[in-house]
């Protein structure tokens, strides 16, 4: 049975203990980071090792390859990618060209990822930053209005889908208003429910048909003052599944982030109890991974159906004009990156 867990690895090759963990636990997927990458051939071997360890076809291989600051694969292993804010800058001048570029660069990137066996990218970011918010989102956002974020994030997601890579929209229901970095602390957003609905939640509602989403470790005190969205059954039920209408594969943000507290098993139990289909653990610490695995069930019911639906996107690969895509990327790289 597949466990409701996405886990990491400690380095550039699987240890014997990690191989046994993946074989015995059967996690739904693996997430890769820069610590797992030495060169192109090594990365391919590592992904093949993990796939061999689980021995299943329905095994997702994830990465964060947004572009800009958040790009786990960099030259010479993969192309350098502009941050989302560059697309926003282009959108202000020529919206249609910006959307074409967003699609094309995602299509190019998806092709690169597939060459390594990577099948899921934790992008696009659909968070809507506001003045005074923490810089953790800043240039990772596709603009400052709902319309531009939706237009560009949708184009990016469609580019990944056309390459057979599953996009994961993040951080649902919205991280843009947070005044703290959830890697380091728990952000609390006191904004009213009405304002959140009109701003932060709106991009995700428009993108609710995408196959996967990642939750935010953010407290929305007007909805649930006691728990961040990732561990809040209220936020998951009333906002993510309810108001936003997202009924596809839902994973937590990283369990090892400092926004969460308590033992790792309890954190994993909490995100699943709140309504996430998968718990995500990223840092590659095997003891923590084992504890997280103890806190998650086997994929079953609607969660298993959502997982299968996301996996089915991998079979879809559409032709594209690669030369045009490279030209569009070069045009973006020629623009000045907005200040962070």
Give yes or no: 52 in active site.
no
Alpha-carbon distance of 164 to 160, in angstroms, equals 6
Catalytic residue, candidates 17, 39, 52, 183:
183
Give yes or no: 253 in active site.
yes
The backbone torsions φ and ψ at residue 312, rounded to the nearest 5 degrees and listed phi first, read -65, -20
Is the pLDDT confidence value at 340 over 50? no
Is the pLDDT confidence value at 114 over 90? yes
pLDDT one-digit tens code per residue, 218-254: 999 999 999 999 999 999 999 999 999 999 999 999 9
pLDDT one-digit tens code per residue, 7-27: 999 999 999 999 999 999 999
Catalytic residue, candidates 253, 254, 277, 281:
253
pLDDT one-digit tens code per residue, 133-179: 888 888 999 999 999 999 999 999 999 999 999 999 999 999 999 88
- CATH topology for the 61-274+308-330 domain: TIM Barrel (3.20.20)
Alpha-carbon distance of 90 to 104, in angstroms, equals 14
Structure tokens at 216: 């935010």
Query: What is the longest distance spanned by two Cα atoms in the chain?
Result: 53
Alpha-carbon distance of 178 to 218, in angstroms, equals 7
Q: Where are the domains of the chain?
A: 61-274+308-330
């Amino acid at each position: 049975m597949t466990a409701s867990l996405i886990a990491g690895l400690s380095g550039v090759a699987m240890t014997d203990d990690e191989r046994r963990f993946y074989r015995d636990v059967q996690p739904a997927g693996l997430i890769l980071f820069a610590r797992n990458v030495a060169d192109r051939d090594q990365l391919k071997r590592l992904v093949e090792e993990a796939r061999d360890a689980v021995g299943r076809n329905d095994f997702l291989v994830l990465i964060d390859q947004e572009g800009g600051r958040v790009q786990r694969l960099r030259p010479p292993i993969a192309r350098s990618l502009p941050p989302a804010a560059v697309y926003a800058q282009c959108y202000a001048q020529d919206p249609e060209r910006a959307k074409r570029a967003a699609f094309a660069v995602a299509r190019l990137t998806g092709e690169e990822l597939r060459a390594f066996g990577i099948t899921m990218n934790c992008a696009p970011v659909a968070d809507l930053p506001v003045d005074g918010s923490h810089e953790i989102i800043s240039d990772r956002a596709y603009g400052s209005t709902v319309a531009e974020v939706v237009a560009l994030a949708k184009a990016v997601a469609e580019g990944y889908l056309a390459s057979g890579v599953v996009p994961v929209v993040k951080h649902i229901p919205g991280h843009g208003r947070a005044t703290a970095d959830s890697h380091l602390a728990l952000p609390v957003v006191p904004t009213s429910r009405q304002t959140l609905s009109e701003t932060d939640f709106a991009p995700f509602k428009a993108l609710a048909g995408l196959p996967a989403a990642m939750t935010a470790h953010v407290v929305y005190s007007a909805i649930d003052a006691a728990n961040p969205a990732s561990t809040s059954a209220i936020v998951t039920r009333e906002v993510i599944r309810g108001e936003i209408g997202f009924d596809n594969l839902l994973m937590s943000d990283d369990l090892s982030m400092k926004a969460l507290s308590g033992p790792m098993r309890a954190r994993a139990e909490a995100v699943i109890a709140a309504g996430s289909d998968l718990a995500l653990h990223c840092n590659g610490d095997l003891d923590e991974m084992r504890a997280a695995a103890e806190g998650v069930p086997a994929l079953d019911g609607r969660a298993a159906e959502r997982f299968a639906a996301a996996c089915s996107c991998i079979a879809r690969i559409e032709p594209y004009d690669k030369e045009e895509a490279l030209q569009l990327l070069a045009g973006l790289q020629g623009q000045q990156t907005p200040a962070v």
